[in-house]
Amino acid sequence: MGVLRGRAGRMAGGHRQKINHPLHWDFRLQAEIFFFAGSYGTVKTNDGCPERGSMMKQTIAGAVLAGGQSRRFGRPKAFALHEGAPFFTWSVAALRSVADELYIVSHPSLIDEFRRQTDIPVLLDVERCRGCGPLAGLYTVMEQSRADWVFVLPCDMPYMRREVAERLASYIDPTFDAIVPLHGGRPEPLVALYHRRLRSVIAELLDAGERRMISLIDGARVRWVDAEQLAADSDVWRNVNTEEEYR
């Protein structure tokens, strides 16, 4: 079975334009470096809670997944507004404090608009698996970045908050392949961290025509985190799929 090779995607930068951002910070970044204590490896304290900063620094690449067709929504969700700011900026804001570098993975038809709104590096999926969903987006970032972990977050979860991302990142443990929340007993594979050692596994899945994130999780060593430990407000897990949900 062949394995996907080569550098992932094209980089798209562009002209800057000031828009209203949810946290009033300049999100137009070019792989800026951010440091957060939660991105260190963790050990267990006597009460069973993770303790940060006790192992070698684990680096994190933040990946906003914005490559979907938004067919049910009727227009690109990434640029729909929530409280005056585009959806994708809320995902960027949530990842900002935990990520050592940031990327947006998107579709060719959206590149020009992303160029207009942000200088964050925008990647296109590896050509041979372009359009193969979030799994391809995750692989694309692992090909582009040398970070130990990739923290994925979709562009259509404008209620997600920085504190939730920080808490999830605090559960990083390099003896696991993935850190995945369980919300209502169900996995949230698109709000999760994946170790780069999974890159070859993802390549094999994509080469076999497998696109489901759950197929990756099924074969990985997963550290499950109860969503109630991450957020008291269940609204943070809401994603917007239709105009009716948006309104």
24: which 2 tokens?
A: 């009033």
CA distance 240 to 247: 10
What's residue 46's pLDDT?
35
pLDDT tens, position by position, 119-171: 999 999 988 888 899 999 999 999 999 999 999 999 988 999 999 999 999 99
Whether the CB-CB separation of 165 and 145 falls below 8 Å is answered with no
pLDDT, the chain, mean: 78
Nearest to 155 by CA among 107, 213, 112: 107
What's residue 69's pLDDT?
53
Whether the CB-CB separation of 153 and 103 falls below 8 Å is answered with no
User: For 133-193, where are the alpha helices, taking DSSP H only?
Assistant: 134-144, 162-169
91: which 2 tokens?
A: 């995902």
pLDDT tens, position by position, 67-91: 755 555 545 788 888 888 898 999 9
Of 161-170, 211-220, 227-236, the poorest mean pLDDT is in 227-236
Query: Which helix (H) or strand (E) element contains residue 154?
Result: strand 149-154
pTM over 0.85: no
Does the structure show a pLDDT above 50 at 21?
A: no
What's residue 242's pLDDT?
55
Does the structure show a pLDDT above 50 at 178?
A: yes
Q: How many CB atoms lie within 10 A of CB 109?
A: 10
Strands 85-86 and 81-82: antiparallel
Q: Is the dihedral of CA 221, 41, 180, 81 positive or negative?
A: negative
- pLDDT bin (cut points 50, 70, 90) of residue 36 is very low
Structure-model confidence comparison of residues 229 and 240, the more confident one: 229
Does the structure show a pLDDT above 80 at 187?
A: yes
Strand positions, DSSP E, 26-135: 43-44, 50-51, 60-66, 81-82, 85-86, 101-106, 122-124
Of 43-57, 117-131, 167-181, 202-216, the poorest mean pLDDT is in 43-57
Name which CATH class applies to 36-231: alpha beta
Does the structure show a pLDDT above 90 at 223?
A: yes
